[in-house]
Amino acid sequence: MQKLETLNGFTKRKSVEVKVGKVGIGGANPVRVQSMTNTDTADVKGTVAQIKELADAGSELVRFTVEKDSMAQAVPAIRKQLVDEGYEDTALIGDFHYNGHILLTKFPSLADSLDKLRINPGNVGFGEKHDANFDAFVKIAIDHHKPVRIGVNGGSLDQQLLKKLIDDDMTKPSLEQIGANQVFLEAMIQSGLLSTQRALDLGMRKDQIIISTKMSGVQEMVYCYSKLAKLTDQPLHLGLTEAGMGDKGIIGSTAALSLLLNQGIGDTIRVSLTPEPGAPRSREVRLSQQVLQSLGLRFFLPQVTACPGCGRTTSVTFQELAKEVTEYLAMQMPKWKSQGYEGVESMHVAVMGCIVNGPGEAKDANIGISLPGSGENPAAPVFEDGKLVKTLQGPGMKNDFKQMVQAYVEKKYGKNKAFVSPAR
Ligand code: SF4
């Protein structure tokens, strides 16, 4: 169960629970991690492989594009193969733009094979067709008992609504006008709220609607979600859309998600990172998990506290050990999980560079090592639950420490736990 109180005193915003397949979103559920494929959905084999990669990394929901007949026809086969291979718990989401109502009507088994349908109110047609297409889409979702995400996006905002709000603003006395930028943000929020109300009027239940107002600017996105959170109790899907590549994408997403999550806002998240060519798609899943774990909202993988090193660390031993331990924990985690090692995901390991902060951090971790800095006795004390248990030295130190980590995990989290130490 997710902690409802954060250390800074904020409480998680109350929201309605929406069931997406077997995954609960909102209510008392933890903040869910989701991701999106970048395969051609018509390629069943490739799409199934990537969904499995994302699910194996911990994505509880996976979305994929459905934009043409061949993709719509592939979805039942994708679903069947995933169920046959034991991935029935992963919620599948169809991402529709422009022609969702047509595809869902033409291929009735499409909706049945999905757990949620994403509709973008900015991409359902113009003029009279806008409302008719939106209504047709929502009615199909109702008939097939499927929840929807009303996914507003800054890059495809409903232009009719935006124009109306701009016109309304222009008719106000000049001192009361809020200006084009502010109107744009209000239109994002209104698009989500008005579309939600329209879906409710059509007969959709409150526990079938999730809202998002994704944008590519951190401050703008935070503004929209913060305001939206006060105006609705529908669950909110957070994401900085088109976050970009590398450091920019990671830091922008982290900043935006953290500012909101730390106020208790957000029921499911996606990091929309542009992957490096050849990089695994699942990186976005690990980043979402890291954001949630850094904020103490959920735990996925044991964490390593390591200092940055300085003039006191004259060799690369310390950096190598920090890297090796981090990789070792990631490699072992699936095994520990499959062996039912409960709680190991919240374990805290410290790898520190010298006596200045080393023993303090190492004692504070579940298991920690303080390597010798320059001029120190070449010995590395290891602490378990605050107590000095061994001093390592010599060329085998790195392997010795990893073996101690494995032994600690078995002792503390294994089926035959030898002891239960105080919770950290
Ligand atoms: S713990 Fe020691 S080596 Fe690490 S940054 Fe601090 S002073 Fe430098």
Q: Which of 356, 361, 370, 374 to mutate to test the pocket of ligand 1 (most atoms within 8 A of CB)?
A: 356
- The predicted pLDDT at position 2 comes to 43
- pLDDT tens for 228-276 read 999 999 999 999 988 888 899 999 999 999 999 999 999 999 999 998 8
Predicted local confidence at residue 233, as pLDDT: 98
Output the furthest CA–CA distance in the chain (Å, rounded). 79
Q: Is the dihedral of CA 198, 201, 202, 205 positive or negative?
A: positive
Tell me what pLDDT residue 317 has: 85
Q: Using one digit for the tens of pLDDT, what is the confidence trace for 24-60?
A: 999 999 999 999 999 999 999 999 999 999 999 999 9
Q: What is the mean pLDDT of the chain?
A: 93
Ligand 1: which of 318, 354, 363, 374 to mutate, judged by most atoms within 8 Å of the beta carbon? 354
Which protein residue has the closest C-alpha to ligand 1 atom 5? Answer: 309
Ligand 1 mean position, distance from CA 294 (Å): 22
Pocket test for ligand 1, best of 307, 351, 363, 364 (most atoms within 8 A of CB): 307
* CA separation for the pair 321, 380 (Å, rounded): 12
> What is the rounded (10 degree) CA torsion for 173, 179, 182, 187?
80
What's phi and psi for 292, nearest 5 deg? -65, -40
pLDDT of residue 3: 45
Give 306's strand partners.
351
Distance 77 CA to ligand 1 centre (A): 55
Closest ligand 1 atom number to CA of residue 355: 2
Phi and psi dihedrals of 381, rounded to 5?
-70, 140
What letter does residue 203 receive in the DSSP assignment?
Answer: T
pLDDT at 69 over 60: yes
Tell me, what DSSP letter sits at residue 263? T
pLDDT value at 422 more than 90:
no
What three-state secondary structure class fits 110?
A: helix
- Split at pLDDT 50, 70, 90, the class of 6 is low
In terms of DSSP bridges, do strands 32-36 and 367-370 run parallel, antiparallel, or are they unpaired?
A: unpaired
List domains and CATH numbers for the chain. Answer: 18-294 (3.20.20.20), 303-413 (3.30.413.10)
- Cα separation of 119 and 156, whole Å? 12
**Mean pLDDT across 309-337:** 91
Distance CA 243, CA 36 (A): 14
Which percentage of the chain shows pLDDT scores above 70? 95
C-alpha–C-alpha distance, residues 116 and 315, integer Å: 53
Confidence of residue 1 (pLDDT cuts 50, 70, 90): very low
**Does 373 sit in the ligand 1 pocket, CB within 6 Å?**
yes
Separation of CA 195 from chain center: 24
What gap in Å lies between CA 424 and CA 422, rounded to an integer?
A: 6
Residue-wise pLDDT tens digits, 94-103: 999 999 999 9
Task: Point out the ligand 1 atom lying closest to the alpha carbon of residue 358.
Answer: 1
Query: Residue 172, by phi and psi: left (phi above 0), alpha (psi -120 to 50) or beta?
Result: beta
Res 420 pLDDT > 70: no
CA-354 nearest atom, ligand 1: 2
Alpha helices in 262-357 (DSSP H): 283-294, 317-338
Q: 118 - beta bridge partners?
A: 95, 149
Atom number in ligand 1 closest to CA 312: 3
How far is it, in rounded angstroms, from Cα 150 to Cα 146? 13
Residue 305 Cα to ligand 1 midpoint, Å, equals 12
Q: Distance between CA 254 and CA 337 in Å, rounded?
A: 26
Decide whether any atom of ligand 1 lies within 6 Å of the 359 Cβ. Answer: no
Indicate if ligand 1 lies below 6 Å from the C-beta of 357.
Answer: yes
Q: Mind giving me the DSSP string for 349-410?
A: EEEESSTTTHHHHHHHSSEEEE---TTS-S-EEEEETTEEEEEE-STTHHHHHHHHHHHHHH
Q: Is the CB of 309 under 6 A from ligand 1?
A: yes
Q: What number is the average pLDDT over the span 184-200? A: 97
* Nearest Cα residue to atom 2 of ligand 1: 354
DSSP secondary structure string, 26-94? Answer: STTSPPEEEEE--S-TT-HHHHHHHHHHHHHHT-SEEEEE--SHHHHHHHHHHHHHHHHTT-TTSEEEE
Of the listed ranges 133-142, 191-200, 371-380, the one predicted with least confidence: 371-380
Q: Is residue 95 helix, strand or coil?
A: strand
- Please state, in angstroms and rounded to a whole number, the distance separating the CA atoms of residues 164 and 228: 20
pLDDT of residue 294: 94
